[in-house]
Amino acid sequence: MKAFLILADGHVFEGRSIGAVKETISEIVFNTSMTGYLEILTDPSYAGEAVVMTYPLIGNYGVCCEDMEDELPWPDGFIVRELCREPSNFRSETALEQFLKAHDIPGIEGIDTRALTKILRTQGTMNGMITTNENFDLEEVLPKIKAFKAHDVVGRVTCKETGFVPADVPKDWDGPRLKVALMDFGAKKNIAGELSRRGCDVTIYPAYTSAEEILQSAPDGIMLSNGPGDPKDCGPIIAEVKKMFDSDIPMFGICLGHQLLALANGADTRKMKWGHRGANHPVKDLETGRVYISTQNHGYVVADRTVPDDVAEVSFRNANDATTEGLHYLGKDVFTVQFHPEACGGPQDTAFLFDRFINMMEVCKNAEEE
């Protein structure tokens, strides 16, 4: 069946329908990863977006549900050059197209994703429509496409009730058992997993949980997760994050959590032209000068020179475009990063940041007990 991708600037791409047969309007973004398409599909940060994979062949190793970052896929659409229908992998449980159909996600294959990506890089990410209607009226649909805006995407992806992930450690574990409150703004499961494997009992809270409830549970640390959308749309959450920050409990923020904490402390954020989405983004640690390869997925960034000098200092910068990739808060046991140290799939160069968070909590806990 024919399918069409109609961009807000009037470009039309013709291809073949994959996945669910339905019409959808969404923001069109591209991801440069060569692998990890299942983790991308199940990353809640993609809510409200349709993903273009720049790598030409997608689906060749099928779907292994163990690799999912959430129980459900979140993108509004999936766009590829070629979809593999006969995967070859001993772990595969189903083909990617069946997965898309089962979760009602429409897609399109057979279009020139290189040309599409060049348009998005030149003009910036924009809205688009995926449709199988061959008789569409361009003048009629373009105003609808341009008017689209995703609303309350954090509320859509966050957990509905409090959850718990116990520490996943051996019986003879002699390390500390720490309590971490994980704020779920669209958290990938590997965040809780990285903490659990380091001896943390993780309580996962819905995004709109009050700071008072979090603080009453007396956590050793607070984790601010990744998530979708414009951070400035999260006003009520930002107010609660500021209260948590003022409590002096150690905090670690990733992606959206990084942006929300910056906004809570007087900084500003801006939308990027096309964002950072992929598994090969270099980030420079400004303290050591070392460069790490990171996985990223964001369309917004903390704006340069907007972080008050007496509040925080930039700790990481993107080695490609010099955008802010990390903040260390002065006089506080608090740090945040824009990239994903829990990345699966993707490089795990920066997983040591979880160790840094653990050490920070241990030091604070020991100081309180003395």
Q: Which residues are catalytic?
A: 255, 340, 342
As annotated, the binding site includes 45, 227, 229, 256, 259, 297, 299-300
As annotated, the binding site for L-glutamine includes 45, 227, 229, 256, 259, 297, 299-300
β-strands 221-224, 178-184: how paired?
Answer: parallel
Sign of CA dihedral 303, 304, 310, 315: positive
